[in-house]
Structure 1
Amino acid sequence: MAETVTAPQPASDDESLRGFLFALSAYLLWGMLPFFMKAVAHIPASEVVAHRVVWSVPIAGVVLLLLRRTADIRRALGSPRTLAMAALTATFIAVNWGVYVWAVGAGRAVETALGYYINPLVSIALAAIFLREKLSAMQVAAVGLAALAVVVLTVDAGGLPWVSLVLAFSFATYGFLRKTLPVGPSQGFFLEVLILSIPALGYIAWVQWTGEGHFRLSVPTDTWLLLACGPVTAVPLLFFAFGAKLLRYSTIGIMQYIAPTMIFLIAVFAFKEPFGGVRAVAFALIWSALVIYTWPMLRARFRQRRPMMAGSPSE
């Protein structure tokens, strides 16, 4: 999924529209991603993630060349501190990808949707714990409802909903740490996949040498699917990075529910995953939490637009 980026104030309606279209495209592509993950479900998740990393590198590199941002990468490669920070963020996003790929293939896409719904609420909790940010009463209520949903699922299943929790905490931690990386979003993504490509290439070489790899000419369908892992991974991330630069953070915050909603609908109606009464209660708690969390952003946007509309000249 996406990086957590604080977007600058948009300069014009035209830029806002372009930013909205970029972000919407990213979220729609992420929402459709379960179909691709089902297509590669017969391939081990570790191999899929390795190919996601390796084939993302040339795409991210071309984008940097087009944007003329290669100097940033040269400076980053010469900074041990930046490399260490990028290696840490890369580790968290790799964990997130691995669990997501495995979960969809294992018929647990509903749990992945829950994880990405919980993610913004985990981000709030991390900010309160590590940055000492004071939470509003509504934010506390939202986090509390999310925690209650986890308790409901834990009691029903006899164990923690680890897929949802790992996805939520790994991505929230990734976003939290990503803000400290002193490079832009597209440069940061290139740096992360470049670092991950070293173990990924080694792993791919090993599985190919042992005969267990799926990247072979004798099975062209698998080869094309693994090659597609690059654009499937890189394109929505880059779309999101460009969109986030042109949109208000509140707009991004509201739009982030598009992808998990699509994943949820696909899991229940296309993949026919079970969705019983207890899960319905848990999701109702999460959706209530998200309404509480999102309402202040919607109210703020409405208050900003009302003076603008009142001040515009009538035709």
Structure 2
Amino acid sequence: MMVPSTPPDSSARTREGVFFALACYGSWGLFPAFWKLVATVPPAEVLAHRILWSLLFVVVLIWRERRFDELRILVSSKRRLLVLTASTLCISLNWLVFIAAVSGGNILQASMGYFLNPLVNVALGVLVLKERLRPLQWLAVALAVAGVAEPVLAGDQPPWVAILLAASFGIYGLLRKQLPAVAPLTGLTIETGLMAPLALAYLVWRATAGDPLFGGSPELAAALIAGGPVTAFPLLWFAAAALRLRYATLGFFQYLAPTGHFLLAIFVFGEMPGPHTMVTFACIWGSIALYSLESWRHHTRRVTQS
């Protein structure tokens, strides 16, 4: 089939990319409202359902698009399978912590974690990929670290939820960066497939212990099953946006998700941030602004000099 010869930076293609980016990050920003629907179900059980129904949904999509050959190629490579196994552990931990944070009334910390995530990516780039930072970028990273350390220095608990979310998703992204040819859909299929036996075994164990498999009500059952498409669709929209937008442009949309979490936490679920929490947020927001400003200035200088 012929591919239309539309220039990659055409206005129509860019508008499509913006639409998919808004759909992706906007839906991720509303995730706390969805997972709050199953807050009465234990987080581990919610995670098990999310894995199994996500697997079922993506397998249907793989079958519909006739992409089983991609799966066979991935499974036949020991290196790729090993990397995907590690990424599976990271994303499973990330999902579990996020679900537990929502059900436990810690959405503000979830928001903090995803605001912090891009800076964790920068730190991992320096530590693992040996990337170099300019002085102002180092200052931005130091400001974020100071924000996370402030509650500890004040005798409070560290924001463990935020740290776990940012670290697990950052390492997940680093691992998936090692497999640039792996599409989001096929990658998610392998990851959920690897975790499916454990998820199924856990649900069977819960059932033999006398617990209801679907939360004990039709409403909870419907919400648990819906976790499959709710998980998969944003990833497909992200892939569509990434094909149509420059990566730098796409990066501006990533803060929609934690902003949505922050607004839902305060205005819908009534979480009130304490002074230490606000200091941490202020440091992270300042760090993001400083890093973005320095990146923009550097890009502008390079364009001017070229």
- 1:64 CA drift (Å): 2.5
Count of equivalent residues: 297
- 1:172 CA drift (Å): 0.3
| 1:24 to 1:297, Cα distance in 2 relative to 1, 3 A | farther
Indicate yes or no: 2:247 matched with 1:239.
Answer: no
Q: Deviations over 1:204-232 (max 9, x none)?
A: 1221222223417x621121111111111
Task: Look up the match of 1:154.
Answer: 152
The SS at the match of 1:274 is coil
The SS at the match of 1:88 is helix
- 1:70 CA drift (Å): 2.0
Q: Deviations over 1:22-75 (max 9, x none)?
A: 111011111111111211111010111111111111222233334432211011
Q: Following the alignment from structure 1 to structure 2, what is the Cα–Cα distance between the partners of residues 281 and 79?
A: 47
Preserved CA contact (<8 Å) 1:90 1:196: yes
- 1:120 CA drift (Å): 0.5
Q: Please point out which of 68, 72, 75 is paired with 2:73.
A: 75
Q: Following the alignment from structure 1 to structure 2, what is the Cα–Cα distance between the partners of residues 28 and 256?
A: 9
The SS at the match of 1:42 is coil
- Write the letter of the residue equivalent to 1:118: L
- 1:21 CA drift (Å): 1.0
The SS at the match of 1:211 is coil
- 1:304 CA drift (Å): 10
- 1:297 CA drift (Å): 4.8
Task: Look up the match of 1:140.
Answer: 138
Preserved CA contact (<8 Å) 1:214 1:222: no
Q: Following the alignment from structure 2 to structure 1, what is the Cα–Cα distance between the partners of residues 59 and 99?
A: 24
| 1:67 to 1:297, Cα distance in 2 relative to 1, 3 A | farther
Task: Look up the match of 2:4.
Answer: none
Task: Look up the match of 2:276.
Answer: 278
Preserved CA contact (<8 Å) 1:86 1:188: yes
Task: Look up the match of 1:16.
Answer: 14
- 1:242 CA drift (Å): 1.8
Indicate yes or no: 2:86 matched with 1:88.
Answer: yes
Task: Look up the match of 1:171.
Answer: 169
Task: Look up the match of 2:3.
Answer: none
Q: Following the alignment from structure 1 to structure 2, what is the Cα–Cα distance between the partners of residues 197 and 67?
A: 22
Alignment identity in percent? 39
Task: Look up the match of 2:222.
Answer: 224
Q: Please point out which of 19, 34, 37 is paired with 1:36.
A: 34
Q: Deviations over 1:134-166 (max 9, x none)?
A: 012222111111101011122345332111100
Q: Please point out which of 123, 128, 140 is paired with 2:126.
A: 128
Q: Following the alignment from structure 1 to structure 2, what is the Cα–Cα distance between the partners of residues 260 and 31?
A: 6
Task: Look up the match of 1:202.
Answer: 201
Deviation beyond 6 Å, 4+ runs, structure 1: 300-306
Task: Look up the match of 2:186.
Answer: 187
Preserved CA contact (<8 Å) 1:250 1:297: no
- Write the letter of the residue equivalent to 1:195: L
- Write the letter of the residue equivalent to 2:242: A
The SS at the match of 2:30 is helix
Task: Look up the match of 1:213.
Answer: 212
| 1:22 to 1:66, Cα distance in 2 relative to 1, 3 A | farther
Gaps of 5+ in 2: 1-6
- 1:301 CA drift (Å): 7.7
Q: Following the alignment from structure 1 to structure 2, what is the Cα–Cα distance between the partners of residues 261 and 178?
A: 25
Task: Look up the match of 2:261.
Answer: 263
- Write the letter of the residue equivalent to 1:38: K
Gaps of 5+ in 1: 1-8, 307-315
Task: Look up the match of 2:246.
Answer: 248
Task: Look up the match of 1:309.
Answer: none
Preserved CA contact (<8 Å) 1:86 1:191: yes
Using the TM superposition, name which of 195-204 and 169-178 deviates more: 195-204
Q: Following the alignment from structure 1 to structure 2, what is the Cα–Cα distance between the partners of residues 261 and 61?
A: 32
Using the TM superposition, name which of 113-122 and 290-299 deviates more: 290-299
TM-score by length of 2: 0.90
